[in-house]
């Protein structure tokens, strides 16, 4: 019973944001050249940078290469989408504002601001905490686990 007192109802904002980054399968990027959506194209470096692997013909890459100061600004949007049908499928949204730089054949995004919207409200996430936070270890496996339960054990889900 004592263990129950140490549990929290929700993860800290930085941990939740890192979990959204880890589990999101797509990323929408708004920059001077418009808006592009990428699927399976992002990863997160240990220092909190978001690395985007975009096609060579991407307008975003062209803008990053040709930017006057060499670092175009952009906003990245990630969504935490429930992997099974539920009433509110979007469980959280994460917006990162910052700058792109071309590094080793990919775009490295350095956030200057992070905002997380979840059902309990919207919060600005501290960037140092975001860089240091670890995602929920089940965040990446959740979709596979839930769809397996729904497909193979429907009586347990009902």
pLDDT of residue 85: 75
- 3-class secondary structure, 147: helix
State the residue range of the domain holding 65: 11-157
Global confidence as pTM: 0.83
pLDDT of residue 6: 54
**Is position 37 within any domain?**
yes
Q: How many domains does the chain have?
A: 1
pLDDT of residue 87: 85
CA-to-CA dists, residue 97 to 76, 77, 146, angstroms: 6, 9, 32
Average pLDDT, the chain: 86
Phi, psi of 149 (to 5 degrees): -60, -45
Structure tokens at 25: 């399968």
**Is position 61 within any domain?**
yes
* pLDDT tens figures, 85-123: 778 889 999 999 999 988 887 899 999 999 999 999 999
CATH of the domain at 135: 2.30.110.10
**Is position 2 within any domain?**
no
pLDDT of residue 1: 43
Cα-Cα end-to-end distance for the chain = 29
- From the centroid of its chain, how far is CA 93? 8
Query: With contact defined as beta carbons under 8 Å apart, do 127 and 13 qualify?
Result: no
């Amino acid at each position: 019973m004592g263990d129950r007192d140490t549990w929290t109802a929700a993860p800290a904002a930085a941990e939740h944001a890192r979990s959204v980054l880890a589990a999101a399968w797509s990323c929408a990027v708004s920059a001077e050249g418009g808006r592009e959506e990428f699927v399976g194209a992002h990863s997160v470096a240990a220092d909190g940078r978001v690395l985007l692997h975009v096609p060579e013909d991407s307008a975003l890459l062209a803008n990053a290469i040709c930017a006057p100061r060499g670092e175009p600004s952009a906003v990245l949007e990630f969504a935490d989408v429930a992997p099974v049908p539920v009433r509110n499928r979007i469980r959280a949204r994460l917006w990162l504002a910052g700058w792109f730089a071309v590094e080793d054949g990919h775009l490295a995004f350095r956030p200057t601001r992070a905002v997380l919207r979840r059902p309990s409200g919207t919060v600005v996430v501290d960037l140092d905490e975001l860089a240091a936070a670890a995602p929920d270890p089940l965040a990446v496996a959740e979709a596979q686990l839930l769809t397996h339960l729904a497909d193979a054990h429907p009586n347990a889900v009902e």
